[in-house]
Amino acid sequence: MIRGYTAKYTKISSGYMGQVVEWPEVITEAKTIDECREMVRDALHEMILAYKQQKKEIPLGGDLLEPMLIEA
């Protein structure tokens, strides 16, 4: 089964932090955005495997993210 998840990337002093929006426990850091993307994908895959082994319910993906512009 293919599920869609939303990755969020934040620039930090050491590079980038990546997190899965629908599954906040899936979080990682890397020096470059490309490394971070790969690490988030790997972390998500490992988390899915761990949840399956523990017979835990895997969070559904597919949240809708929408950018909002606000004058400050």
pLDDT, tens digit only, all 72 positions of the chain: 778 899 999 999 999 999 999 999 999 999 999 999 999 999 999 999 999 999 999 988 776 767 778 898
Instruction: Give the pLDDT score at 72.
Output: 83
Residue 67 placed within a domain? no
Domain count, the chain: 1
Q: Is residue 26 part of a domain?
A: yes
Q: What is the pLDDT of residue 47?
A: 95
33 is a domain residue: yes
In a domain, 59, yes or no: no
pTM, two decimals, is 0.81
Supply the pLDDT for residue 41.
Answer: 96
66 domain residue, yes or no: no
Print the domain residue range for 33.
Answer: 7-53
Q: How far is CA 56 from CA 47, 48, 50, 59, in A?
A: 11, 9, 9, 9
